[in-house]
Amino acid sequence: MTIIENPEIQANLIPILKTVSDPEIPVLSVLDLGVIREAVEKNGIVHIKLTPTYSGCPAMDVIGDDLKTAFSEIGKKTEVKLVLSPAWSTDWISEEGLKKMEKYGIARPLSESHDKDVLLGNKKMVKCPQCGSTNTHLVSQFGSTACKALFKCDDCQEPFDYFKCLK
Ligand SMILES: [Zn+2]
């Protein structure tokens, strides 16, 4: 179990952070995703500490640039630092973020032990984001990106992505 340290985020920076989204799941802001460890303004510069999601996820470079752009639009300079430890986990995604993800059509990550079972096709536990049925099956370990697996619902017949669990 990952212990989530409370990120230090200055309240006045939150509205700007909310405008920066995950390039892969645009409905999720960086705050929903839980990748911001720190956002503090010191001497006119916004210092941001960012923890990457999946290692090698190219989205992080994009997020770093998007943060700089968002703050430069309100005339603020930004310094973005990557913090690799503790490693990001799907536990850091906020409940609001998980709900947005489901509405967007991506099934939310299950717990670690269940994750292995569903990715091996042993258990039917992944909930279809379209109709809510758990009568679903694994089509491919890899969905639209390496971070997701492709599932198909046996009730409504819709294919959908499952966001893999990561601890
Ligand atoms: Zn369905």
Which tokens belong to 16? 């700007």
Question: Could you tell me the distance, in angstroms and rounded to a whole number, from the CA of residue 131 to the centre of ligand 1?
Answer: 4
pTM of this prediction exceeds 0.75 = yes
Please give the average per-residue pLDDT across 96-118, as a whole number.
Answer: 87
pLDDT grade, residue 4 (50/70/90)? Answer: low
CA 86 / ligand 1 centre spacing (Å): 36
pLDDT above 90 (res 162): yes
Task: Say how many Å lie between the CA of residue 95 and the centre of ligand 1.
Answer: 22
Structure tokens at 90: 């799907």
* Alpha carbon of 166 to ligand 1 centroid (Å): 24
| Sequential DSSP letters for 52-118 | -SSTT-THHHHHHHHHHHHHHTTT-EEEEEE--SSPP-GGGS-HHHHHHHHHHTEEPP--HHHHHHH
pLDDT reported for residue 111: 77
Q: Which amino acid is at 43?
A: N
Residue 3 has pLDDT above 70, yes or no: no
Q: Where are the domains of the chain?
A: 3-92, 105-163
Superfamily of chain region 3-92: Fe-S cluster assembly (FSCA) (3.30.300.130)
Query: If you count DSSP H runs as helices and E runs as strands, how many of each does the chain have, helices first?
Result: 5, 8
CA 134 to ligand 1 centroid distance, Å: 8
Q: Which residue has the tokens 């720190």?
A: 38
Is residue 148 predicted with pLDDT exceeding 80? yes
pLDDT at 167 over 60: no
| pLDDT at 2 exceeding the cut of 60 | no
Q: How far apart are CA 137 and CA 18, in angstroms?
A: 34
Give me ligand 1 centre to Cα 23, in Å: 25
Q: What is the pLDDT of residue 57?
A: 63
Place of tokens 């959908």: 160
| pLDDT computed for residue 1 by the predictor | 40
Q: Are 156 and 127 in contact (CB under 8 A)?
A: no
The more confidently predicted of residues 60 and 100 is 100
Q: Give the distance (Å) from ligand 1 centre to CA of residue 98.
A: 18
